[in-house]
Amino acid sequence: MSQTYGSIFLLKLGSKNLAVVSDPELANQVLHTQGVEFGSRPRNVVFDIFTGNGQDMVFTIYGDHWRKMRRIMTLPFFTNKVVHQYSGMWGEEIDLVVRDLNNNIEKVSKEGIVIRRRLQLMLYNIMYRMMFDAKFESQEDPLFIEATRFNSERSQLAQSFEYNYGDFIPLLRPFLRGYLNKCRDLQSRRLAFFNNYYVEKRRKMMAENGEKHQISCAMDHIIDAQKKGEITEENVLYIVENINVAAIETTLWSMEWAIAEVETLRLHTPIPLLVPHMNLEEAKLGGYTIPKETKVVVNAWWLANNPKWWKNPSEFRPERFLEEDGGTQAVVGGGNVDFRFLPFGVGRRSCPGIILALPILGLVIGKLVSNFEMHAPQGPEKIDVGERGGQFSLHIANHSTVVFKPIGGSIVKA
């Protein structure tokens, strides 16, 4: 549509306005230079349920609550100190993936394996060890099955297009009653699961240890902030909610794309339109007036694949990042940002998880390609990279079966 209607256009969807930005300079304005004006998030009837009406960090409006939640989440999750603290543990979990492939090499080297399932266990263990100092024993662990089922159902309900009409035409919302009740029931059971099996265990441990307790995971830090009155018990649970969805699932999607085609974050940005922004008041953008409370999306996929800014964008040519200068850079936070390539966004509402996702993604793919040759199973010439999208995400439609053959023909050590 941007090729027809230009680098910025406004759609009227019932009672809602949607502005689509498909130009690096305009993206710079939305995300950076006018980041305060466009710093809020639009919500809808389903996301109000899954965020407790904005009690989380990702989907809350721009303001004091967001600043507080971002600060409290950053310290135990998103700093260089955290990366150094946990990088050894990440290596352990990645080595276990290699070990399991080697232990089942007869099958995985001939028939292949749906590697997503094993990578999912690895990622959950990485994040749950960081968050709760807890670990799942295997893919058959009942708690792992429960956690992944809850999060999968949440993603399906939240990302479905089935309920959009109730947002666009409020008079039709009564017809969503059954759908919304299903969302409320799931969220109630899901938050109770997080609380009963993980959060309360940390609370109990901290209470038993008293003043002698030493903070040993992110949840200890978050509970400590709640005890000081900085956040509520509900906020604690919605931080857990954000990590389960925003940190784990999006990284897993990127790993699947990376295994299928290597250059993942440009060709298949996990959230092609980024998480939507919103202006609370009327604003100007690119010379146009944007009505207040307009949902503003940045077409990050088109920015990264437009032949106007990239030479042969569909080709795998990683050296392009060294050779091609789109003239679309700006200084943000002390560093240069290329606004053609924004898989994590940029500015105030950028994804803080970039500091974890990039090294983990690199370590996993590096370990796999250094130990194994990866192929499509016998029959297909290449891995199926058919797409399936939701309201925000773009991921592989069919989880790939991949054949892993040890490099050199012999089993290698992790």
| DSSP 8-state assignment for residue 33 | I
Say if CB 246 and CB 158 are below 8 A apart.
no
User: What gap in Å lies between CA 160 and CA 174, rounded to an integer?
Assistant: 18
> Per this entry, what is the length of the chain?
414
User: What gap in Å lies between CA 355 and CA 342, rounded to an integer?
Assistant: 14
Q: Which two tokens stand for residue 248?
A: 């784990």
From the list 197, 202, 84, 206, the residue with the least C-alpha distance to 133 is 202
Amino acid at site 38: F
Residue with tokens 């009837």: 45
Q: State phi, psi for 163 to the nearest 5 degrees.
A: -105, 5
| DSSP 8-state assignment for residue 382 | S
Q: How many CA atoms lie within 13 A of 108 on its CB side?
A: 22
On whether 351 is known to bind a ligand per the annotation, the reply is yes
End-to-end CA distance of the chain: 48
C-alpha distances out from residue 55 to 52, 151, 196, 238, Å: 5, 18, 20, 7
Chain centroid offset of residue 106 CA: 34
Q: Which two tokens stand for residue 368?
A: 């796999």
Q: State phi, psi for 137 to the nearest 5 degrees.
A: -75, -35
Output the known binding site for heme: 351
Output the known binding site: 351
